[in-house]
Chains A and B, each alone.
Chain A
Amino acid sequence: MVPLEMNIDATFTATRGTLKLDISLQVGDGETLALLGPNGAGKSTVLRMLAGLQDIERGQISLAGTLVDGGPGAVFVPPEQRNVGVMFQDHLLFPHLRLLDNVAFGLTSKGVKKRLARTVARYWLDRIGMGDYRNARPDELSGGQAQRVALARALANKPQLLLLDEPLAAADATARLELRRTLQTQLKSFGGSCVLVAHDIGDALALADRIAVLEEGRIVQTGTINELGARPASRYVADLIGLNCFRGTCSGNVLTMANGAEIILGTAHDGQAIATVHPRAVALFRERPAGSPRNVFQAPVVAVERALDCIRVRLGGNLPIVAEVTESAVGDLGLDRGGDVWAAVKATEFRVAPA
C-alpha cells in the first residue's frame, strides 16, 4: 500500500519531559497518515519534529527526498525553510492581524508582494467559505471557523507537506462535522502528503489513507483500518478498531446499508454516513427481548472469542455485529452451542458521522 515515492522518511529518537520517543515513520507522496494514540503518547511531539520546531536526539528526517534533520551537529533546516504547513491544535491565528493578513502572512514571508499575497489570501478564504470574514479579527470567530482559517493559512503557502495537530479538537459538535467536511475536500485537492494527529477513529477513517498508532513514544502499528483490525498489535489498537462499524445511507433516523439492512439511530442525518457502536452496547438474548431498544434483530452466532479480559461474540446475518459479554452470560445463553440469538442495541448508543 505504501507508494514507492516517499515524501516523509523519518527515523529518530527524542525526549519530551519524561517521555522517550523512538519513531520510524514513512509517508508516501500524496498520502494522508493519521497518528492515533492515547493522551501523552507523543503524537504532537512527532509533528513538532517534522516541522522543525524541536530537535531530534538521534536519527534523521527527510522531507521530499531532502535531509532536513540529521541529528545533533549535522544538517538542520530551520522550520521557516522546510515548506511545511502546520495547522495547530488551537489555531494560533495572529490576534493582531485581520483574517486576510493572517492568510497572506506566509506568502509575504516568502517575499510575495503584499497586494498579490492578499489576492491569493482572499481566494483561499473564499474557498473555505470565510470570504465574508476577511476583515474580521481572529477573536471574533468560533473555534471551528478559526480552524478553517488556520487550514487556509497553512495551504495558501503551498506547502509540500501538511501537518494537522488535532484539527477537530477546538470545534464543538456541530461545527465539527462541517470542519471535517472542509478538511476532506481540502485534503483531496491538496495533493501533497499529510500527517494528522487524531483523537477519534472516526476522524482518522474519514480523513486518512493509513493509520499509525502511537503508544508511549513508539509506533506500535501502521496500516489501513482493515490491516489493523486483522491483527491488532495492542489492547489499545483492539479497542480502537474493535467498534462495530456500519456504512450506509442515512435518511432521518434510519441508516440503510447496501444489503438493505436498517439501523435506527438516536439522531437524524442525511446522506452517506458511518455509524459506530461499541460491542459493550450490544445485549444478547435467547428469546426476543421486551422493552425499549429500537434495534432488535435475530442473528446466528458465528464465533465466540475469548480475549484477555472479555468475551466477544460475533454474529452473522445481514447485520454482522460483535457483542461483548461476560463469561456467565456465555453459560446462561448457551452461546458456545451456536444457533440464533436476539441482539438489542439502543438507538442512542450509535455514533454517527458523515462518510
Chain B
Amino acid sequence: MPAWLMVPAAIAAVLFLLPLIGLLTAAPWGEMWSLVSDAATLDALALSLECSLASAVLCLVLGLPLATWLAHGNDALRTTVRVFTTLPMVLPPIVGGLALLLVYGKNHLIGGSLHRWFGIEVPFTAAGVVLATTYVAMPFFVLTVEAGLRGFDRRYSEAAATLGAGPWRTFRTVTLPMIAPSVRAGLLIAWARALGEFGATITFAGSFQGRTRTMPLAIHHTFESQPAAAIALSLILLAVSAAVLFCLRRQWFPSR
C-alpha cells in the first residue's frame, strides 16, 4: 500500500470516530442505569432485537431463493425484477413505508382482504415492523448473495451432478457451503440495516410503546422531550450493536 494513502484512510477512520466521541462525551452518565432499566427502554430494545432477527430470517428464507434465481441469467425479466428489488435501497424509507401502507392498509389492496377475511391487520403491529424492516433490508441481502453466486464457479455444480447429486442436493451441499461467506455477509448487512430502520417503520407501523416502538423510534420519541435521555438510548443501541458485531467478527465478516 502506498504511504500517502494513509492520509485519506486516516480521515475516513476519524470520520467514524468523531460522532462516537460526541455521543460518549454528551451522555448523561449519572442517569444511565435508571434509563437502561426503564421498562420502556427494555421494551424497545427487545422489540428491536426480535424484529431485526425476524427480518434477517425472512431475508434468508425468501431472499436466498430470489438471489439464486436472479444469478441464473441475464434476461429482461431478471433485470426488471432486480430493479424492483433494489429500489428500496435508493428510495427514502418513508416512501417505502407509505407505499406499504397503500397495499397493506385496512382500506387498500391486500390489507382490505386480509382484514375482511381473516381479521388480520398488518400496519401498526409488530408484524408491520418486521414487514417494513424486511422491505428495506432484503435488497442488501439479495445483492450481496447474488454477487456471491455470480462469482461461484459453476463447474463445481457440474462436478456434483456427474457424481449423482440432483439440483437440490447440489445446491444444499456444494453451492451453499461454497458461497457461505456471501450469505453471512448479506445476513449481517441486512440485520444491521433492519436494526437501524426508522423511516419505513414509523410510517407503516407507527410508534406504539411495547408494540411497534423499536429503539430508533424510541430515540426519536424521547429526543423531543428529553434530549439527554435520547443520547443515552443511542448509546445503548450502539453498545448492543457493537457487542453483536464483536461476537460475530470471526465467523461473519468475509475475511477471504
Contacts and interface: CB of A to CB of B under 8 A. Distances in A.
Chain B contact surface mostly? helix
B169 A86 contact: no
B164 A109 contact: yes
Contacts, number: 60
A92 B161 CA distance: 12
B24 to A, nearest CB: 42
Contact of B158 (A53, A94, A96, A106): A53
Contacts of A78: 161, 166
B239 interface: no
A308 to B, nearest CB: 40
B114 interface: no
Given A53-B162, A79-B161, A79-B162, A109 B169 contact: yes
Interface residues of A, number: 24
B160 A53 contact: no
A306 to B, nearest CB: 47
A86 B159 contact: yes
B163 interface: yes
A84 B162 contact: yes
A157 B163 contact: yes
B155 A92 contact: yes
Contacts of B160: 94, 105, 109
B235 interface: no
B156 A79 contact: no
Contacts of A105: 160, 163, 165, 173
B178 interface: yes
B159 A109 contact: no
B174 interface: yes
Contacts of B163: 80, 85, 105-106, 109, 153-154, 157
Interface string B155-188: 1101111111110010001100110100000000
B156 A106 contact: no
A45 interface: no
A285 interface: no
Contacts of A109: 160, 163-166, 169
A160 B166 CA distance: 18
A95 interface: yes
Contacts of A96: 177-178, 180
Given A80-B164, A110-B164, A95 B159 contact: no
Given A88-B159, A109-B169, A95 B178 contact: yes
A342 B64 CA distance: 74
Contacts of A83: 164
Nearest to A106: B163
Interface string A85-106: 1101000101110000000011
Nearest to A82: B162
A146 interface: no
Given A92-B155, A92-B156, A94-B174, A85 B165 contact: no
Give the one of B159, B166, B173 with max A CB within 10 A.
Answer: B159
A96 B179 CA distance: 10
A33 interface: no
Nearest to B159: A92
Contacts of A84: 162
A95 B163 CA distance: 16
A88 B156 CA distance: 10
Contacts of A88: 155, 159
Contacts of B158: 51, 53, 79, 92
Contacts of A79: 158, 161-162
B117 to A, nearest CB: 42
A209 to B, nearest CB: 23
A53 B165 CA distance: 13
Interface in A47-98: 51-53, 78-86, 88, 92, 94-96
Interface of A: 51-53, 78-86, 88, 92, 94-96, 105-106, 109-110, 153-154, 157
Given A52-B161, A81-B164, A157-B163, 5 more contacts: A53-B161, A80-B166, A83-B164, A88-B155, A153-B163
Q: Which 6 A-B pairs have the closest CB atoms?
A: A106-B163, A109-B164, A79-B161, A109-B165, A92-B159, A86-B162
13 contacts: A51-B158, A53-B161, A80-B161, A80-B163, A80-B166, A81-B164, A83-B164, A84-B162, A88-B159, A94-B160, A105-B173, A106-B165, A109-B163
